[in-house]
Chain A
Amino acid sequence: MSKKILIAGILGIAFPLTVLAWDATSTSFFVRQDVQTITGLSTSTTFQNRSGGGQSGFGISTSSAFKVFSGHLFSLLRDIKPQYTQIHFHWRNDDNVESQATSATGEIEDTTLSNLSKNIVTRLRVEITNAGGTREGFSTQQFQIEYGFLESTCAAATYTDVGIVGGDWDMGASQLTEGGDTTNIAWVSGGVTDANAQFLSPNGGQRETTSQTGALTLASDKFVELEYAVQALTAATSSGTYCFRVTNTGSATNFVYTRYPTVTLASAANATPVVSAVTVNGSAAITLTENTSTSISFAGTVTDTDGFADIAYATGTLYRSGVGAACAADQNNCYRLASSSCPLGSCVGNSCTATCSVPVQFFAEPTDAGTYAAETWQASITGVDQAGASGSATSASGVELNTLLALNVTASISYGSISPGGTTGAANQTTTVTNTGNGAIDVNLSGTDLISGSNTIAVGNQKYATSTFTYSSCTVCTALSTTPTQYILNVTKPTSVTPSTRDVFWGLSVGTNPSGNYTGTNTFTAVTH
């Protein structure tokens, strides 16, 4: 055990010292004994280290006759600044008042506290001693307790005032008396080893509400023991290790940290993610786009009381209600999404929003009418945490997927060259009608006259049928009209990207028309079959 003594005046005599501090105004200051460290200020004109085995000397001497008689004083340096050294700590249980609470670390100071549960108030006693001087930069200090998540070392941690509400740590109500003085209790009772000559008191070192003391003057022969009631909050990292330090209201100037109090939190039981508020397409009906896919989104809130960082990913399924959330993937009625399609966003606290997007094909089954009129499209979202635990929820109410009656006509109708008075005979033109929607369709057919300048071939000269025909003898043909007329084609609803098509065959007769290129337009409008 080392002991610290102030030597003043002309006498500095044999003590089994390992640390020595002085503040001497003696004109004949000397040190006789072995010391490991001597620190102080001397204006002695005859400073002597007569028999010391000192390793280092810190201080100042204006001696004109400096001597080392038999020791090993390596150096005597000028250092008159204070040096607030965080030198000892002791974790204590909040089981009694300041003087009677028990040790939380088996009555051993400077020991890491392990397996601390969150939201449990515990007490941290920290000893600060001034191992420096009082000449330069010496002032009162408001000792503030701070925490930081252990990085590679505690010195490398980023510290936060425990007094700031929220975060990982807060002050906590305890059996301490806010602003009350600490006493110099024995370390076996949760105290710490004295590291200087005198215990500073009064000190207002008991803190449970505020994280800093009042202004204290800690002279170079003084040490003080401060005790803070702290608690890890829910947001703190389970199984994580935190470091603590004392600063002067956030400033570490003139502080030396010989030891950092550390604590390791208990590993919390994994919380299962909970999914809620699942909505589909913003609760609006789904409107598809013909012959291509339409991006449809659905979203939900994923909550994990272990914190949002514990939410690993989310997946989802968009489905027609009749097939259920456990449906097999089918572009007609069941879209199962990988986690890449359900990114997490807007993460705050314990929750994130999972927003899933899926390209819904144009042939997805409608629910606004027809076979599935009694159903809706719904979504299910599953949230998975880092431990693989998952939770799911489905949308409380689905949305309709609207019927899309749509078609493409891929071919033009080019009758070629016909002599006046002639017909296409058996040489039919073909238009392929492709169903690009999600319902079986017929078509409404209409057209315009074929025109070349002021000359006209009447629209009615065009005939059509679902099979090939010879114009002059056709009995199954229909003459085209300018009025849309329903034609039963029954182009079935596609069930995949493979087109569902029907062909319409066309013929034309030309009357006494002047030669020329005649053009017109035939219009196909999808209607419900």
Chain B
Amino acid sequence: MKISSILFRSYLLSAAFIAVFLGVFLHLQLVSADSSGTSVSVVNATPAVSNVVISSDPITLTENTTTTVTITATISDGNGCSDVFSSGTISAVLYRSGVAATSSCTADDSNCYRSITLVDTGGTCTGGTDTSGNASGTVPMQYFAEATDASSTFPTQWWVAFVKASDFASASSTATSTAATELNSLYALNITGSISYGSVAAGADTGASNQTATVTNTGNFKIDSEFSGTNMTDGSNTINATQQKYATSSVTYASLTFNLSTTATARDINIVKATSSSTPSTQGTFWGIAIPNGQVAGSYTGTNTFTAVYSSN
């Protein structure tokens, strides 16, 4: 490019004094300069994503609450890692492999967690000529996220982390975790309410006045429950656990379905797993007791145990 403005063209007068014998003459030499404008278009490099890892692996949830799962990835960009970490975005989708061929699943706490933001938490992208850095992000997985282990409904599936890195120019690339990260089955329950039979005369039972204990599925699979109980005691006096009866509907004592035992006995109560954190999956259990004749009056206490177990039907 010929630049003819004064800024780019100058004439320089260089003077050299040449002494010749007694005379001194001024030698003027006109010198000119010219300039070429230089230009280059540095192409935008597409970011690269690698080493996508879900941790922990396998994923083990926590009943009735969320569990933090971490997704990490290595991000690189030929224009400098800052082109992504500072000027771009890194996002992830965590999903059960069966819900979508790619990351296009619909957000669902059971199987698809979207809009997970990954950042450079460790200062691994130093900027300048540094072309790569490690990105990580976390997602709170609900207790009812679908399990993929062998005993689950999706034994041939696994959980996948999909990571997308975009640079300043919106060029992007993606990668998914390569490990088949399993999410373990979680059989868990909560009991709400108490079983307080009140005052029952010896030789009498609670009749239609059932006590209610609500069982909530706090895991990620449909459950039954094992029931067992201790004898109720008051000092040295005892009321056998078998005096307690229970059912999944409220009926009179005589009609309650099951007698309690000190030995855990599974009952088919089929509490499905929750699908929303705002809508627990519950099942009520109704309890009654009969006091043998001659039972010494007193205040008897004991413990009934509910244990979540796999429900096969």
Contacts and interface: CB of A to CB of B under 8 A. Distances in A.
Contacts of B12: 525
Interface range, B side: 35 or more
Contacts of B37: 412-413, 519-522
Contacts of B131: 512
Contacts of A415: 38-41
Contacts of B6: none
A508 B38 CA distance: 10
A430 B34 CA distance: 15
B31 A513 contact: no
B44 interface: yes
Contacts of B39: 412-415, 450, 517-520
B41 A512 contact: no
Given A403-B29, A421-B78, A512 B35 contact: no
Interface in B150-168: 168
A411 B43 contact: no
Nearest to B80: A512
A402 interface: yes
B300 interface: no
Interface in B7-40: 8, 12, 27-40
B24 to A, nearest CB: 14
A492 to B, nearest CB: 17
A406 interface: yes
A413 B38 contact: yes
Contact of B34 (A408, A417, A513): A408
Nearest to A285: B28
Contacts of B44: 515
Nearest to A444: B33
A525 B33 contact: yes
A425 B106 CA distance: 47
B4 to A, nearest CB: 10
A511 B36 contact: no
Interface string A505-529: 0001011111111111111111110
B101 interface: no
A434 to B, nearest CB: 9
B129 interface: yes
B304 to A, nearest CB: 67
Interface residues of A, number: 56
Given A403-B30, A420-B45, A513 B38 contact: no
B42 A452 contact: yes
Contact residues of A: prevailing secondary structure: strand
B20 to A, nearest CB: 11
A405 B169 contact: no
A189 interface: no
A526 B40 contact: no
A295 interface: no
Contact of B80 (A418, A514, A525): A514
A521 B80 contact: no
Interface string B174-200: 000000000000000000000000000
A369 B25 CA distance: 12
Interface string B71-105: 00000001110110001000000000000000000
A420 B33 contact: no
A457 B40 contact: yes
B133 to A, nearest CB: 13
B31 A527 contact: yes
A517 B39 CA distance: 7
A450 B35 CA distance: 14
A417 B43 CA distance: 6
A438 to B, nearest CB: 10
A437 interface: yes
Given A402-B30, A512-B129, A416 B35 contact: no
B36 A521 contact: yes
22 contacts: A285-B28, A404-B32, A405-B29, A406-B30, A407-B33, A408-B34, A409-B35, A412-B2, A413-B36, A415-B39, A416-B41, A420-B78, A422-B43, A508-B40, A514-B83, A515-B83, A515-B169, A517-B39, A518-B40, A519-B37, A519-B38, A525-B31
Given A413-B38, A515-B169, A523-B35, 17 more contacts: A402-B28, A403-B30, A412-B37, A412-B38, A414-B39, A414-B40, A415-B40, A417-B43, A420-B43, A510-B42, A513-B80, A514-B83, A521-B37, A521-B38, A522-B35, A524-B36, A527-B31
Interface of A: 285, 287-288, 290, 368-369, 402-422, 431, 436-437, 447-448, 450, 452, 457, 462, 508, 510-528
